[in-house]
Amino acid sequence: MKESRKTRYTKMVLQNSLFELMEKKPIEKITIKELCENADINRTTFYAHYSDQYDLLAKIENETISWAKDAIANFTDKNNKHENINMLEEIFQYIMENSKNLKILMSERGDINFQKQIFTIVYNQCGISFSPAGDEHSNVRDEYLVFVVNGSIGLLQHWLKNGMTKTAREMAEIIYNMAVQSGDFIEMEFPL
C-alpha cells in the first residue's frame, strides 16, 4: 500500500527533527516530547508511525542499508577494480547528496553497528570478506576485515567532518586502494 503524501511528510519532518536533535546530543538523551515539539507534531501522530526514537532511527538506518544493497546489487565482477571503484563512488555520491543526515548516522553519535554493516556489505560485494571456517589464519583474516571496515568508517567520518573536500571518486579510490593493500599484506603474511 502506497503511503499518502501527508504520511510521507510527517515521517520526513520527524526524521529531520531527530537529526537536528542528534547534532546536539546522543539519542538516549532525546525524549519523544522534545522530538515532537521540535517537529511540531503531536505525540499521538508520532506513535502512529514509531514506537520510540530508537525505532525511528532503526527505520532510517534500514532504508539506508536497503539503498546500499540495491546500489551494489548491479555489480557482479568482484575482481574488477574499475567496477568496484565505480560502486564505491556511487555510494560516496549518495552520501554527499544526503550528507546532512548521513553525517549524523556516520558520526560518533550514530550507531557503530549500522556503520559496520554498511561497509561490510560493500566489502563483501568487492570480494573482501571473512575467511572460511577452518582456515588456520582465520583470526588474522577476521581482524583484517575489522581493521578495514573500522578504518573506512573513520575515513568517511573524517571526510564528512571536514566538509567533503575530496570528490566521491577520490574517496572511492582511497578506500578501495587501502582495503586492497591491506588485503595484499595479509595474503603475503598468511598465504592460503
To 10 degrees, what angle do helices 32-39 and 5-22 make? 120
Domain ranges in the chain are 5-50, 61-189
> Residues 110-126: what's their mean pLDDT?
78
Looking at per-residue pLDDT, the higher value among 139 and 38 belongs to 38
pLDDT of residue 126 exceeding 80? no
d(CA 104, CA 24): 10
| pLDDT, average across residues 146-158 | 83
As a whole-number percent, the residues of the chain with pLDDT over 70 amount to 81
pLDDT of residue 183: 56
Q: What is the mean pLDDT of the chain?
A: 82
The pLDDT, as a whole number, for residue 164 is 93
Predicted pLDDT at 127: 61
Q: Provide the grid cell at 15.
A: 526524521
Are the CB atoms for 99 and 64 separated by under 8 Å?
A: no
Query: Which band of pLDDT confidence, cut at 50, 70 and 90, is reported for residue 192?
Result: very low
- What pLDDT, in 10s, does the model give residues 27-78? 999 999 999 999 999 999 999 999 999 999 999 999 988 888 887 776 666 6
Coil, strand or helix at 42: coil
Angle in degrees, CA 87, 90, 92, rounded to 5: 110
User: 71 near 91, Cβ under 8 Å?
Assistant: yes
Report pLDDT digits (tens) over 92-108: 898 899 888 888 888 88
Decide which of 1.20.1260.120, 3.40.50.720, 1.10.10.60, 3.40.50.2300 is the CATH code for 5-50.
Answer: 1.10.10.60
How much is the pLDDT for 153? 83
pLDDT at 189 over 50: no
pLDDT at 186: 43
The pLDDT value given to residue 149: 77
Q: Which residue has the higher pLDDT, 80 or 94?
A: 94
Say whether pLDDT at 142 is over 60: yes
